[in-house]
Amino acid sequence: MRGGSLERKLAERIREALKRGDPLELVAEVNSFLEEQGLGRVIVVGGFAVELYSGGAYRTGDIDIIVEGCGALLRRALGMVEEWKSRVWVHEALNYAIDIVSCSYSKPKRPVVLEVAGKKIYVEPPEESIVSSLAACVHWSSDLDCEKAAMVMAAQWEVLDWEYLEKRSEEEGLAERLSEVRRVVESVRSELLREE
């Protein structure tokens, strides 16, 4: 039974990664397994992507992931390690819950590839992280999401593809809010540079 064998192998690798206690290593281990088997990949999105891109200025309680190709296998393997008690998976060795939010990545810009402990993880690009945060800010009237967009923007300022970010914001009806947040971040950056 190939499926059961794969679940057991993945569960064992998850257990080993949990011993190290690093959530990025866990994601890298799962992604590595899926890619080795030709079953798909894992992409970090949402709040944990914001946490990574903001350098920890924003902290989240869960790791939102897209599991392309094999979300059901990962759910079963995680369930072999620790029982699912809700929509998210929680293990005492992690300070984060795992939330499988989708099975397909549909953003126009390809995920960023990071190396963790010699293995790859994929993360939605900072531009997409900003667009998602701006969308939540505008559509849900969420000030926190405006702040998340600003944190990523400030931390990634020098590497952002501004042309792409403006285009995506225009497509999503967020151009005005992007301009507002950008002005605030520019102002703060200018003030900080003057102080140096």
Number of domains in the chain: 2
Q: Kindly state whether residues 113 and 132 are assigned to the same domain.
A: no
Q: Give the per-residue pLDDT at 164.
A: 99
Residue from 108, 112, 106 nearest 167 by CA? 108
Q: Kindly state whether residues 29 and 113 are assigned to the same domain.
A: yes
Q: Give the per-residue pLDDT at 2.
A: 54
Q: Is 156:126 a contact under the CB 8 Å cutoff?
A: yes
Q: Is 130:153 a contact under the CB 8 Å cutoff?
A: yes
Q: Kindly state whether residues 105 and 54 are assigned to the same domain.
A: yes
CB atoms within 10 A of CB 29: 24
Q: Kindly state whether residues 81 and 170 are assigned to the same domain.
A: no
Q: Kindly state whether residues 113 and 134 are assigned to the same domain.
A: no
Q: Kindly state whether residues 138 and 54 are assigned to the same domain.
A: no
Q: Kindly state whether residues 32 and 89 are assigned to the same domain.
A: yes
Domain span including residue 84: 2-124
Q: Kindly state whether residues 44 and 68 are assigned to the same domain.
A: yes
Q: Give the per-residue pLDDT at 1.
A: 41
Name the phi and psi angles at 65, rounded to 5: -130, 145
The enclosing H or E element of 92 equals none
Q: Kindly state whether residues 113 and 152 are assigned to the same domain.
A: no
Q: Kindly state whether residues 107 and 168 are assigned to the same domain.
A: no
What is the model's pTM?
0.93
Q: Kindly state whether residues 74 and 147 are assigned to the same domain.
A: no
Q: Give the per-residue pLDDT at 3.
A: 57
Residue indicated by tokens 């590595």: 32
Domain boundary residue, one of 124, 156, 171:
124
Domain boundary residue, one of 124, 150, 169:
124
Domain boundary residue, one of 63, 96, 124:
124
Q: Per-residue confidence of the chain (196 residues) as pLDDT tens digits?
A: 455 799 999 999 999 999 999 999 999 999 999 999 999 999 999 999 999 999 999 999 999 999 998 899 999 999 999 999 889 999 999 999 999 999 999 999 999 999 999 999 999 999 999 999 999 999 999 999 999 999 999 999 999 999 999 999 999 999 999 999 999 999 999 888 888 7
Q: Kindly state whether residues 119 and 136 are assigned to the same domain.
A: no
Distance CA 31, CA 38 (A): 10
